Chains A and B, each alone.
Chain A
Amino acid sequence: MPLIDISDLHVRFGPVHAVRGVSLAVDEGEAFGIVGESGSGKSTVLRAICGLAPTSAGSIRIDGQTLTAPRPPAFYRRAQMVFQDPYASLHPRHTVDKVLSEPLAIHGFTDREARVERALNDVGLGQGFRFRFPHQLSGGQRQRVAVARALILEPKILLLDEPTSALDASIQAEVLNLLDRLRSERGLTYVLVSHDLAVVAHMCERLIVMQHGQTVEELTRAELQAHHAAQDYTRNLLAASEGFTRAAP
């Protein structure tokens, strides 16, 4: 049985039909990618899983259980989200310690001290960063804090919304390596949303390509690497991500 099972999901925001019938199934321990351009509804699918976007029709099941709205606290101990922009997703007047302690307080953990220390070590930041404010950190360090915040409740599922697209290339490599290592150490399940095919190909075993709120096609990593795309849209994306090509004169 798949861990995350989405069938025929529709999301509407007033007159806008952002997601039109997306189905996907993610097994435990798998990394699943969603690729698309802006406005394709890829982030909305992720936000719908998390309960941040309304489900208009269809169902989302985790471990066979249909999710209810609002999500129960137990859901957030199983699934957490990392957002795109670490400059916007951390509270500017909360220290790293406060950011990391808050989920623990909400969920009634008592060993907060030890967990905060461990979370910082896990993401490679060390204790020196514990009482800093976000503005005292670089972009890559902030995204590490965001990952630590998501992992502090020890969830099994991590929803990653463009986790590296606000970062420089060299920092992106570090964050991707961190995510890769954490997944293999803890057997996490990832759903990764990105506009960058190369990032998804690096991180995910399977992926779907979305356009206008619908699934264009589903591919495995091997198919993507071999450029075996059935749909024209995916082929265009693949060609565009190779860089600029001058038409033969």
Chain B
Amino acid sequence: MIAGPLLTLSFSALVLAALAGRRWPRTWLALTVAGSGVALAAALLVLFGTTDWEWRGTVAFGGELPHLRLDGLSAIFLALVGVLGGAGAVYAHEYWSDASHPTSAPRGRAWWSVLVLSMMLVLTIANGLHFLLAWESFAIAAFFLITLDSGARAVRSAGWLYLAASHAGTLALFAFFALLAERTGSWDLGPMRAQAGLQPLFWLAMLGFGVKAGLFPLHVWLPSAHANAPTHVSAIMSGAAIKMGVYGLVRFSGWLPVPVSAAWVLVIVGSLSALLGIAFAFAQGDLKRLLAYCSVENVGIILVGVGGALLAVADGDSPWGRLVLAGALFHVWNHGLFKGLLFFGAGSVLHATGTREMSRLGGLWRRLPWTAASFAIGCLAVAGLPPLNGFVSEWLVYLGLFDAVTSHGATAWAAIFAALMLGSAGALALASFVKAGSMVFLGAPRGRAAAQAHEAGRAMRGAMLLLAALCVGLGLAPTLVWRALARGVAAWHPAWTVAPVPGALQAIGGTQLALAMLLPAVGWFAWRKMHGRTARRALTWDCGFAAPTARMQYSSASFAGIASGWFRWILRPRLTLRRPRGLMPTRAFRLERIPETMLDLVIVPIGGLIMQTASGARRLQHGSLQAYILYVVAGLVALGAMVLGAGIR
């Protein structure tokens, strides 16, 4: 099969790119794009073909024989990494160029290739030991990419937080793979659903991969890392890197026997992630932070799908599980694409204006028309509106959940709960992206930076347009995608072999197409309507105030005011207020900051406790010989007492 040579080609291109990246930017670009494209081709070959690709090496590496495997499930994720790895490289070529970042750009190029390569390895390796190695190199490459701009304090602390969280997760994975190897007698990975004794191990996998995926209570590293990283890095982190955690969860929930309680936890935690993630996103004033929290929401949606599929399996292989899982897998693609697109757009805005604060932006659509248009497409897609791809995948998840409501017992309640949570999250997502889009691109510029912005260059625009086109294309042709999704579903659960395209999906495909046809017509009609008459330009009604300024527009906090009030109990906004005083008030302001609630109120105190305990133990080791001898004596006396006690009893 041809996928093998293609992957070899792709991997070697990426290795060469990592080596060439420091010196020759153009060679690096060509090699990285080629490597990513070839990997994408390999993934599509497997997805639209009928056979999986598998290869076992004969030369041991680290005491284990290499074992690579590309089946429907890994291919879905590999395709996404291919697209984002290539598009991000094109974007980075202009966004983080040698001219603008002379010291960090060479480093950034090399690490980018390493990151893409190690993610591809994570997706294809089927040996626990090698998986851990690839996983670690992936985490480290991501760390160096996040901290490319290491001069800034916020960037460094975001990087350390990411590294610490990532390694906390890796620790769980070490335990997971070691215990797995111990119980199965081999590091080789593969389907092992029949061995019921492995059930408890899934919890470890859930912890380890959950940290990387950014599940709600474990997401603490995600907002700051994604907001402070260079934007092309945020795009691949949010679009592809957190999907590695999702991949781990999907992969091992398919291979391992999963306790039913874990499926419940996935559904509940996924729903909470979706709702709270988007609630946090809505309240943010920082554009990239908003996008980062929105990733927490989307991972929640995906995991609701995975948990739902697990519940369906436990429920006697109910057919609706197929739909939720296909929806989840499709959402993996879609979220990767539109989140990449949105981050690219945010990067273009940041590049043009130098700020991520939405309250300083505004009116950019006139100056950045390409960015505005592609960002708008991204907003529509992420809000789950037809006729774009986000709608289709969420629709599949909803379809599955609605089917599940008709089943009996507790599963129906889980489905009702999840559907309600996802529905509320969807509404908030719409509001969040209305806010993001309108704050940044509509209205009048709120500051000088926004008024003097300039459009991004060809490479950045090209990367954005590619992802926008993919968002539209996947939305209009969902039936084409179904075959690939069905391959992924069949790889996850062999009993759910390739099925015909569900009627609902066919119907939605037609509707989407009709809508898409209709939209230009409506647009043209509206344009005619507006420009047919002579427009009269005047101030809007302004309560009689004769000199309005751009600062009198809605700010991002006032836009989100009411809805973030509903989530005040968890957002805990910090308010600094100075009311206008006297007859001639001079200075007055209202400052609202949303802290990292989970980090500040949960993780930091726990970390402090561990730190205290640890430094208490550290005090025992002080270099005093006498005290060390005392420890020996105490130990000996304790041992003697134990032996004596045992002897007397």
Please determine whether chains A and B interact with each other in the same assembly: no
A interface with B by C-beta (< 8 Å)? none
B interface with A by C-beta (< 8 Å)? none
